Structures are given as structure tokens and as C-alpha cells.
Amino acid sequence: MQLYNNLSAKERAALIEKAGKDRLTISFYKYAKIKNTKIFRNHMFLAWNDLDVLGRIYIATEGINAQLSVPAENFELFKSHLDSISFLENVRLNIAIEHDNFAFLKLKVKVRPKIVADGLNDETFDVTNKGIHVNAEQFNELIEDPNTVLVDMRNHYESEIGHFKNAVTPDVDTFRESLDIIDEDLKDHKQDKNLVMYCTGGIRCEKASAYYKHKGFKNVFQLEGGIINYARDVKSKGLENKFIGKNFVFDERRSERISDDIIAKCHQCGQPADLHTNCANEACHLLFIQCDSCKEKMENCCSTACMEINRLPYEEQKALRKGQGNSNDIFKKGRADHLPYKKDLRNIFEKFPKTKVK
């Protein structure tokens, strides 16, 4: 009985190309009590492997967080399987705006301590006491209210290429970092301001809204389905789109374009650009923004040093990495000092003068 992926990304890509069938890119999450995560994990893998589902799925005692792709012809079977599980029946599916048959190349279903690394002790507050969910139309109205503070709950490399107009975009590397920063910066406005949050698909706001209510915020709201669902609603309902730029996504596509605006710049030359790439040097693998011109000039590398290493035969590169461990850049997102046009490292709540510039 196969319980784990046994094909390489290259082998899977060849099979997808040979099949020539359209695939749908989907994400969903659900907070629920799962007693035996290992059994549930194996059940999901077996069912989805038969449906040719590919993706990255995290399962924990607190629920499930899934980002995946499924052949369009198997979508109804996939949905029927979800509906057969009591807590996933009619779960909201965030279907991507832009599909890519190669968005995912493996099926990875993993058991984790949490479905999002939030660093919170869930025993210290009521995680079910969440903020008010608002749809795209309600969201648009709410963020026009001068009494509203709109906060992006994503990381700096996500908001750098796209965000809502007038949103506060904390300069953080991880979700857990933003929680205390926002609490501190808005501590004098817990009662008199609307705290409105958004993220990619809604999962980070789900936990954050309960946390902020626990911390004393009176009026807490979150965008239902996140940016993904908002973009679909705006298009289908003819609403004004208040998101500028691209929405960062965690698969091979790396982003979906929501508006024609390019608000970021190439980290190497400073020209307008909003396409993330990973440095071709496997010992570096730094994620950064690179324009087409620099991509060609730098051979998809972040520095001349990496370019020189990447030109070496693979076995020589492998020998250089032996015993060295991973470069810290593997875990950075556009933070490397050798990128002259990286994002300015500040966190400014412009509406609140008391906030410290970091």
C-alpha cells in the first residue's frame, strides 16, 4: 500500500505533460479537532493519490491546511470525497484565478504540530471566538471607513509585490512576528478602531482574529477567503478592485496577477519588476525579485559569486556543499545584503505617529 510519493518532480512533470489534461489549483483550510492525525493523514493520501491530486497538505490536531492541484475532470470526485468527511462538508474552496498544470509536482501530506506556525499557545485563549467575516463588498465598504485600520497579515516578501490600498504591511519574515508588533502598535486604539485583516486565503486571519479579540480589540474583522476569494468575487460581481499588484502564492506559480500595477522593483537593478525567483545556486536558493534583463545577465543567480558556482559541473558544486550545511540565504526572502534594491526594512503605521520606525 503506497502511502508516500515515490516519483521525482521531473518524473511527475513528464507525466503531467504527457497526459495533456487541465488541472485546477485549489486551496482550503479548516480548523477542527482531529484525534488520530496519522490515520487521517493516511486516509487522505490514499484517496487523493487515486484522484491524481498533487500538493502540500498539513494536518494537525487543530485541523487541515491544503494547497493542491487536481485534474479538472476529477474535481467532482474530489469534492465528493471532501463532503464525505463530516467537518469538511461544503468547506470553502479557494480556486485560483490563474491555473498552472505544473503548480505542484508531488503529493505531500504531512502531520505537523500546527497547520500554521503561529507560535501561539492555544490553551491561553478561546480560538473559536473569531472576528467577523466580511465578503468583498462589505470589505470594500469597511476599508473606506476612516475609523478602520487595515492590516496585511502576510510577510514582507508577499506584500512587497501586491497589497490592498492604504494597508499597513508589517516588515516581518514570519506570521508569528507580526502578531505582537500589531498588538503593540495599535495598543491605544483597541476600543475605538476597526481592526480589519486579510491574508492569502484566510487561514492566518482565522487564528489572528481570535488572538486579537483575546488581547482586547473590540471590533475585529477578517476578509472571507482572503485575497484569492476577493479577486474572484470582484471579477464575478463587478466590484471595484482595491488590491494593487500581484498575490504571492506558495507553489511553482509564485504569484497571481490581480491588477496591472507593478509596485515592486528588481532587487538587482531597481527597475519595475514583481516576479520572484530562487537563486539557481542550490547552496543559496535565495528568493528574490529579478527582472528579465537581470535574469539573463545573472543567469538566474542573485550574485556573481553564485553565478560562478552555478557554472561549475554539478559534482563540483555538490563537493563544495559537502559538510558546509545550508546557506542562511536558503531561509531568507529578499533579505541578503548584496541585493542593493531589496525592500526598505521599515515598519511604519503612518496613521499612528507614536509608532516607532524600525
Instruction: Provide the annotated active-site residues.
Output: 199
Identify whether the C-beta of residue 330 lies closer than 8 Å to the C-beta of residue 312: no
Of 225, 227, 275, nearest in space to 254 by CA? 275
Q: Please give the torsion angle defined by the CA atoms of residues 169, 117, 331 and 263, in that order, rounded to the nearest 10 degrees.
A: -20
CA 315 to the chain's CA centroid: 34
DSSP per-residue string spanning 8-68 = -HHHHHHHHHHHT--EEEEEEEEE---S-HHHHHHHHHHHHHHTT-EEEEEEETTEEEEEE
Element (H, E) at 184: helix 175-185
Identify whether the C-beta of residue 312 lies closer than 8 Å to the C-beta of residue 297: no
Identify whether the C-beta of residue 172 lies closer than 8 Å to the C-beta of residue 197: no
* Exposed e or buried b per residue across 60-82, where buried means at least 16 C-beta atoms within 10 angstroms of its C-beta: bbbbbbbbbbbbeebbeebbebb
At 324, is the secondary structure helix, strand, or coil?
A: coil
Neighbours of 131 (CB within 10 A): 21
- What are the C-alpha distances in Å from 128 to residues 26, 39, 210, 319? 25, 25, 7, 51
